[in-house]
Amino acid sequence: MVFDESEVVYANDDNEAEKFGTLTIPQNLEEGTYRMRVRSGVFFDGLNPCGFHLQTETLDFNLEVVAEPVTPKLQFINNYEDSSHEQLSLYINNHLNDELTDISFRASSGFIQIPYGETIDFKVTSTNQADGDFLYEETVLIEEHMDYIVIANNNIENQNNPFELNLFNEAKTIAYAYNETDLLFYNGSSNVGELDFVDTLNEDLIIPIDYSEFNGYFGFKNQLNEIGLALEGDEETFVRYLIPVSELGINNQAATIISSGILSDPQNPDEDFGLWLAKVSGGELIPLLNSNLSSEVFENNELLYYPNPVNSILYLESLITINTIKVYNMLGQLIQQNKVNSKNFELNMSNFAKGIYLINLENINNKKQNLKVVKD
């Protein structure tokens, strides 16, 4: 919570102005994530005939309760693209934890506890190397009460050893505010340079990130969000990706969004380029669904679709013959594909689960259009 310096917060029975308070956690409280509600009272001098009036504000936060001592945690993410080193393992002080072993490209570990208050050695090896040979070595000072994300990435400035580790020392596992998700952004696309991440629902939020750098965290509501990408100096995004928070299972959590792959053509990015999401629990990175897929879209008057929301049949009417229809869920999974070869089509969605779907149409002129449809 941040208060304006001109405001006075009433915090105790002695009528003293305080901006900070102390919360004592009961000793018998079990470990876990709790919802903490803070109610503040702000006094204003003026309109009230009694001299002062009170305006209250209520804010909700996520509170993580853990047993002492609080030790740092680390997550290892592999964004190193090299066919000769497909799986990486991260040694800490010459010790290899099972969670940090054989992490595939575009996959991650969960968070594990690590030593703190001292310098520790990071050593990286791959499955194709001989025992005792390391791809990379680095010594890092680990601080108490700090969590870390370590990303293996391509070092484009060092041809002799094109590998690097990028370290972020303010990692989170839960969101700061209740009913939000905190997202950390990382630019791992080696041929792009600076990349601007744009919140398309709030276009004032533009997050510029140089290659191999982090920026964040930023709070997003637990809803369907969309992130656009723009090149440095460009005002328009060249591609957009959906972040379906609920479907991804990251409500009230933190997560990392990574740009990855080579961007060969901003007007038509290939499938190897995109945004991937790393969950705090680890596993394969989740590819975010490209919500425009092509710059060649139908004209505004070429296509009609209804009803939306839909309960059973979605009617599609086009001036140009529709070639194919593909239906994706919010996790980017293709769940249905139809060969149409007609100007009109009835898409039966009666057996679909409730939620939001992305329907991709392609006509005989190779123009594509994405429709966001809600299934009741």
Pairwise CA distance, residues 181 & 94, whole Å: 35
Q: pLDDT (tens digit, 9 = 90+) per residue, 38-61?
A: 776 655 555 455 555 556 677 788
| 85 lies in the same domain as 147 | yes
Pairwise CA distance, residues 138 & 142, whole Å: 12
Task: Tell me if 334 is assigned to some domain.
Answer: yes
Task: Tell me if 88 is assigned to some domain.
Answer: yes
CB 288 within 8 A of CB 332: yes
| 206 lies in the same domain as 261 | yes
Among residues 231, 266, 290, the one where a domain terminates is 290
Amino acid 56: pLDDT: 65
Q: Which of 362, 360, 361, 336 is nearest to 349 (CA)?
A: 336
Which of the 8 DSSP states describes residue 173?
Answer: S
Q: pLDDT (tens digit, 9 = 90+) per residue, 338-354?
A: 999 999 999 999 999 99
Task: Tell me if 297 is assigned to some domain.
Answer: no
Which of the 8 DSSP states describes residue 246?
Answer: H
- Please give the mean pLDDT across all residues of the chain: 84
Q: Give the number of other Cβ atoms within 10 Å of residue 306's Cβ.
A: 10
Work out the pLDDT band at 306, boundaries 50, 70, 90.
very high
| 231 lies in the same domain as 282 | yes
Domain around 331: 303-375
- DSSP sequence for 64-101: EE-PSS---EEEEEE----TT--EEEEEETTEE-GGGS
CB 187 within 8 A of CB 212: yes
What are the structure tokens assigned to 311, written together? 């309960």
CATH number for 349:
2.60.40.3080
For the chain, the first-to-last Cα distance in angstroms comes to: 38
Q: pLDDT (tens digit, 9 = 90+) per residue, 196-216?
A: 999 988 777 889 999 999 998
Pairwise CA distance, residues 68 & 72, whole Å: 12
| 50 lies in the same domain as 107 | no
Task: Tell me if 298 is assigned to some domain.
Answer: no
| 55 lies in the same domain as 80 | no
Pairwise CA distance, residues 326 & 236, whole Å: 27
| 184 lies in the same domain as 254 | yes
| 139 lies in the same domain as 163 | yes
Q: Which of 262, 246, 271 is nearest to 334 (CA)?
A: 271
| 162 lies in the same domain as 185 | no
Amino acid 143: pLDDT: 87
Q: pLDDT (tens digit, 9 = 90+) per residue, 210-233?
A: 999 999 899 999 888 999 999 998
For the ranges 223-227, 273-277, 371-375, the maximum mean pLDDT occurs at 273-277
CB 173 within 8 A of CB 73: yes
Q: pLDDT (tens digit, 9 = 90+) per residue, 10-37?
A: 333 444 445 555 666 676 677 888 877 7
Task: Tell me if 296 is assigned to some domain.
Answer: no
Rounded average pLDDT over 240-268: 91
Q: pLDDT (tens digit, 9 = 90+) per residue, 102-134?
A: 999 999 999 999 988 788 999 999 987 777 789
Pairwise CA distance, residues 128 & 105, whole Å: 14
Task: Please give the tally of structural domains in the chain.
Answer: 4
Task: Tell me if 155 is assigned to some domain.
Answer: yes
- DSSP sequence for 17-79: B-S----PPPTTPPSEEEEEEEEEEEEEESSSTTSEEEEEEEEEEEEEE-PSS---EEEEEE-
Pairwise CA distance, residues 193 & 262, whole Å: 11
Work out the pLDDT band at 5, boundaries 50, 70, 90.
very low
H or E element, residue 247: helix 245-248
| 77 lies in the same domain as 61 | no
Amino acid 175: pLDDT: 94
| 113 lies in the same domain as 61 | no
CB 288 within 8 A of CB 277: yes
Task: Tell me if 346 is assigned to some domain.
Answer: yes
Which amino acid, residue 96?
A: L
H or E element, residue 276: strand 274-279
Task: Tell me if 351 is assigned to some domain.
Answer: yes
What does DSSP say about strands 239-244 and 289-290: parallel, antiparallel, or unpaired? antiparallel
Question: How many degrees, rounded to 5, is the angle at CA 53 between CA 48 and CA 55?
Answer: 140
